[in-house]
Amino acid sequence: MVATMLQGLLGLAFLGSGAGKLAGGSNLGERAREYRYSGGFLAFVAVAELVGALGLAAGFWLHSVAPLAAVGLAILMAGAVYTHILRAHDPAPKALPAVVLLVLLMVTAVLRWPALG
């Protein structure tokens, strides 16, 4: 039950995040400069978030996909934490959403891991 709720909520969160990044257009370039990445790399991250969200959704029917999608998104969130703290030198609270998502994704991956059986 908990795993199912986490999986669904995280899927929605990353669907919104990835779509928002892609729809942001000019804001994407601004954020790329702030984080010292190329706009193309941030577009890649946005697409990866969308693919991860689709993986979490597909995991409701193809159970072995959910833990893999959660691990992939957790890797992205580890990169986000790195970016906020070490690359952009943001204050720690700005990285907090990425840390929370990273922990929730790891919990989801662990709870769904038996599906890989």
Question: pLDDT, tens digit, for every residue of 101-112?
Answer: 999 999 999 999
Cα distances (angstroms) measured from residue 31 to each of 34, 46, 64? 5, 12, 34
Instruction: Kindly tell me the sign of the dihedral angle through the C-alpha atoms of 88, 92, 94, 100.
Output: positive
pLDDT tops 70 at residue 86: yes
pTM: 0.93
* Cβ count near 46 (within 10 Å): 20
Domain extent at residue 84: 2-116
Percent of the chain with pLDDT over 90: 76
Name which residue leads in pLDDT, 21 or 81. Answer: 81
Q: What is the 3-class SS of 72-88, one letter each residue?
A: HHHHHHHHHHHHHHHHC
Residues listed for the chain: 117
Q: How many domains does the chain have?
A: 1
Q: What is the pLDDT of residues 19-61, one digit of tens each?
A: 998 887 667 778 788 888 988 898 899 999 999 999 999 999 9
